[in-house]
Amino acid sequence: MTSVPLKGSDRIAAGPLADGTGTAPSVRPSRPRRRGRSAPYWFLVPTLALFAAFTVVPIGYSIWLSLHKVKVKGIGLGKGAREQVWNGFGNYTDVFQDSEFGHSVLRAFGYGLIVIPTMLGLALLFALMLDTPKARSAPLARLMIFLPYAVPGIIAALMWGFLYLPDVSPFYYLLDKFGLPQPDLFNGGNLYLSFANIAVWGGTGFNMIVIYTALRAIPRDIYEAARIDGASDLHIALKIKIPIVMPALVLTFFFSVIATLQVFTEPMALKPLTNNLQSTWSPLMAIYDSAFLKSDIYGASATTVVLALATFVLSFTLLRISDRYTGEDRA
Amino acid sequence: MSIHSRQISRRSVLAGAAALGLTGTLAACGGSDDDSGESGGPVKLTYWSWAPNMEKVAAIWNKKNPDITVTVSKQASGAEILSKLITAKKAGNAPDLIQVEYQSLPTLVSNDVLADISKYAGDTKSDFSEGLWGMVTLGTDAVYAIPQDSGPLMFYYREDLFKKHGLSVPKTWTEFAETARAAKKAVPDAYLTTFSSNDPGLFAGLAQQAGGKWWTVDGSGKWTVGVDDAATKKVTEFWGGLVQEGVIDNQPMYTPPWNQALNKGTHLAWVSAVWAPGVLVSSAPETKGKWRMAPLPQWKAGDNVTGSWGGSSTGVSTDSKHAEAAAKFARWINTDPQALAALVKEVAIYPAATKGQSGDILTTPEFFSNQKDFYTTAAEIAATTAASAWGPNVQTTYTAFQDNFGKATKAKKETQFVSALGTMQAKTFDDMKKQGFEVAEA
């Protein structure tokens, strides 16, 4: 039962009674044992303290804020004009009644439907291609695919923004030269494609590396056995490699879903360039808008809590589903 | 070496003590934490500002006033500094001095960030035009800031292109519409200018010129929101009509394509404020010496009134333990001739103080070397600035403008412009009501 490992000398000193029944005949051996028991907790203290200070307390404060609101009195100017009052679940009912936030969530889903399959599909494809024995200059190719991930999101967004603007983009110059149609990349559905393109460009490399690392961990002799059985490279990829790296795919999918719900940088950076982007385009933009533009930290806290819970529930459900799926597969 | 510095510090201690004699009384009446404990070094003030080179102006003050040291801390402008200030106030550590845009004053006063400095303001009221002073008092007996710069609206146009295409400089908005049509006819791929849904400040200024009163408050403390009042509706229909007609562009301002339009001359004019030369220098460097500035077109021939776009003031926070020293600095930086000259030269602002708008402080912008009387004309226009009325949730109104006018300009439909204005009104009103203000719709 004792999970705390004892030093050899202690074990000898304490004898058979060292199994935690606590009826040691003398005080002397129990002292080092007590110290030994509390030691792990002392090692945990820094982590727990930091976790409490920078995660638990802020989350608690957010929840507390989300249950309050400001009430203005009289003319609303000067000292004592504003008072923080209890608002119960008022902010939460507002969140669910706020069609703008609802729309922003729907937009994020629409964006995710484009980004996630494309990005993960490409990442898997690249990883499999790099993993084939025939791949030449694989390290260089790997680096080239990974490189966009190293570009900070805001810079990537601005760079693509310039490429999307007809008056300054070299692509439009070429389209114009060849008399091809020039689509408005900031209009309607194209907007989703434009954002998705930035995300795919920046994120594929990272996901490719995750999948590729998992592929490299597969023992090579499995392939040899498959080849002896007459499997082609394609067969090996589809029947062996993909099933084995499934956990890595689930992981990248998981990351991507969270990143989709948190899309912020691209729309924020491109907003000043066009009439078509609302200040509440994505869920995080809606939160930013209420917290930092409208200075309503109470409503923003409630929205944040809702978004965090939704992300949590969604992730958890997806994990359960994938667990069941891979579990059945194994059986 | 060490002996020297010690002597110097002792001298400054004495000077500081003298200064503290003043601030001591203030701390007593402010009822805030007593600072006599730190009697010793000079009074240290922090100044949040987003204007470039503001620290150079503060350096002049620091040299002249070793007992009150001002340190400039560079901040973001617009909504960001607002939420930062409100948060800092909540934490009890707002800076002593704050650069505040006029439209943000009610928001900050409502959040108790700005102190009433009327008792230190003295006769400084006479340094400013009545319209500007009204903005910092919010129409009350209090004084919440000292005006720093102003941005009266003007009409900028390409003199060369106007001449080439035989266009006349519009004196009224009716003429403006005609010029827009004539410009479109003369140069099919060009526009007179654009209606930008990214710049609520300009729209507010245009409404202000037309006589729009977005927020008013009566003696009993009841607010009235009139964002969609008749005057603003008139402005909305006017621009919406021109965009629908296709004679005014619908692209937002301050984007790479906009810069290019100015640079290439596919925008022939720009409705902007007195600070436009500074923007044109970087946005349209190739057009130097080709622009000219004229008064803003009027709604009625013979009228003489303009609105404003931008402009800021210097306020003192309620967290400051040295409000009197801070107010002294705020007065100095905005009224002292040497400070005004430095503000013009280093920070490139158009001073709010009346005496800063004339005389030899302002020299003709290099970009407008063809218009020697630039600042004489500007001062005449500035004097005609209509009073503006701001409320405690301007940012909500501004965001509503961007979102809804964005859709309307994209659709190029006048009716959508009008419904966008309606949404702006509704969002502003609902937000104030939700916050608990006593509020009515105009």
**Coil, strand, or helix at residue A240?**
helix
Instruction: Provide, rounded to the nearest whole percent, the portion of chain A with pLDDT above 70.
Output: 87
Q: Determine the distance in angstroms separating the CA of A79 from the nearest CA of chain B, rounded to an integer.
A: 5
Residue of chain B minimizing CA distance to A298: B435
Q: Determine the distance in angstroms separating the CA of B307 from the nearest CA of chain A, rounded to an integer.
A: 24
Same-fold call for B2-150+310-357 versus B158-309+375-441? yes
**A59 vs B: CB within 8 A:** no
Contact B256 A167 (CB under 8 A): yes
pLDDT of B44 = 95
**Coil, strand, or helix at residue A115?**
helix
Give me the helices (H) in B247-300, please: 256-264, 276-283
pLDDT of A59 = 95
Contact A78 B438 (CB under 8 A): no
pLDDT of A86 = 92
Q: Can you tell me which residue has the tokens 């005496």?
A: B355
**A140 vs B: CB within 8 A:** no
Q: Determine the distance in angstroms separating the CA of B395 from the nearest CA of chain A, rounded to an integer.
A: 6
Interacting residues of A267 by C-beta distance below 8 A, sequence separation 6+: A195, A277, A281, A282, A285
Long-range contacts of A324-327 (CB under 8 A, 24+ apart): A326/A246, A326/A247, A326/A250
Answer yes or no: is the ipTM higher than 0.85.
no
* Alpha carbon separation from A72 to A95, A277, B144, B257, B318 (Å, rounded): 21, 32, 19, 43, 18
Residues of B in contact with A62 (CB under 8 A): none
* Alpha carbon separation from A30 to A7, A35, B406 (Å, rounded): 12, 9, 75
Residue of chain A minimizing CA distance to B78: A293
Q: How confident is the model at residue A28 (pLDDT cuts 50, 70, 90)?
A: low
Contact A72 B436 (CB under 8 A): yes
**Coil, strand, or helix at residue A294?**
coil
Residue range A295-313, pLDDT digits in tens: 889 999 999 999 999 999 9
Q: End-to-end CA distance of chain B: give it in Å, rounded.
A: 70
Residues of B in contact with A279 (CB under 8 A): 399, 402-403
* Alpha carbon separation from A212 to A52, A117, A119, B190, B331 (Å, rounded): 36, 17, 14, 53, 65
Residue B36: HSE in the Cβ half-sphere, 13 Å Cα cutoff: 8
- Choose from B101, B111, B401, B428 for mutation: most chain A CBs within 10 A: B111
Q: How confident is the model at residue A7 (pLDDT cuts 50, 70, 90)?
A: very low
Contact A77 B392 (CB under 8 A): yes
Query: Domain residue spans in chain B?
Result: 2-150+310-357, 158-309+375-441
Cβ neighbours, 10 Å, residue A59: 13
Query: Which one of B111, B217, B431 has the shortest CB-CB distance to A82?
Result: B111
Exposed / middle / buried, residue B28 (Cβ in 10 Å: 0-12, 13-18, 19+): exposed
pLDDT of A260 = 92
Interacting residues of A214 by C-beta distance below 8 A, sequence separation 6+: A244, A245, A247, A248
pLDDT of B217 = 87
Could you give all domains of chain A from N- to C-terminal order, each with its CATH number?
8-66 (no CATH), 90-330 (1.10.3720.10)
Q: End-to-end CA distance of chain A: give it in Å, rounded.
A: 32
Residues of A in contact with B252 (CB under 8 A): 272-275
pLDDT of B36 = 40
Radius of gyration of chain B (CA): 23
Element (H, E) at A135: none
Contact B254 A293 (CB under 8 A): no
Residues of B in contact with A295 (CB under 8 A): 82-83, 86, 107, 111, 395
pLDDT of B181 = 97
CATH number (3.40.50.450, 3.50.50.60, 3.30.365.10, 3.40.190.10) of B2-150+310-357 reads 3.40.190.10
Q: What is the mean pLDDT for each group of 10 consecutive residues in chain B (442 residues)? A: 39 39 37 43 92 94 95 90 91 95 93 94 91 87 94 96 96 97 95 95 96 89 93 97 96 93 95 93 93 96 93 95 95 95 90 87 88 92 88 93 94 96 96 91 84
Residues of A in contact with B251 (CB under 8 A): 275
* Cα B332 from chain centroid (whole Å): 19
Contact A66, A91 (CB under 8 A): yes
For chains A and B, count residue pairs whose Cβ atoms are closer than 8 Å.
106
E-strand ranges in chain A read 68-72, 82-86
CA–CA–CA angle B214, B215, B216 (5° rounding) = 130
**A165 vs B: CB within 8 A:** yes
**A78 vs B: CB within 8 A:** yes
- Nearest Cα neighbor of A28 from A38, A14, A9 is A14
Q: How far apart are CA A23 and CA A25, in angstroms?
A: 6
Chain A residues 9-48 with a CB less than 8 Å from chain B: none
* Cα B74 from chain centroid (whole Å): 17
Contact B132, B387 (CB under 8 A): no
Query: Which one of A70, A165, A272 has the shortest CB-CB distance to B435?
Result: A70
Residues of A in contact with B260 (CB under 8 A): 167-168
Q: Can you tell me which residue has the tokens 């992730």?
A: A315
Contact B313, B27 (CB under 8 A): no
Element (H, E) at B190: none
Residue of chain A minimizing CA distance to B434: A71
Interacting residues of B78 by C-beta distance below 8 A, sequence separation 6+: B101
Residue range A151-195, pLDDT digits in tens: 999 999 999 999 998 888 888 888 888 888 888 888 878 999 999
Residues of B in contact with A74 (CB under 8 A): 221, 438
This prediction's pTM? 0.84
Q: Which two tokens stand for residue B376?
A: 């004489």
Q: How confident is the model at residue A326 (pLDDT cuts 50, 70, 90)?
A: low
Residue of chain A minimizing CA distance to B437: A72
Is pLDDT at A52 greater than 90 in this prediction?
yes
pLDDT of A184 = 85
Q: Determine the distance in angstroms separating the CA of B420 from the nearest CA of chain A, rounded to an integer.
A: 13
- Nearest Cα neighbor of B388 from B145, B209, B228, B230 is B209
Cβ neighbours, 10 Å, residue A14: 19
Mean predicted lDDT score pLDDT of chain A: 85
Contact B436 A276 (CB under 8 A): no
Contact B406 A165 (CB under 8 A): no
CATH code for the domain defined by B158-309+375-441: 3.40.190.10
pLDDT of A322 = 80
Residue of chain B minimizing CA distance to A159: B256
- Choose from B410, B412, B413, B428 for mutation: most chain A CBs within 10 A: B410
pLDDT of B442 = 80
Query: Which one of B79, B255, B407 has the shortest CB-CB distance to A272?
Result: B255
Residues of A in contact with B398 (CB under 8 A): 293
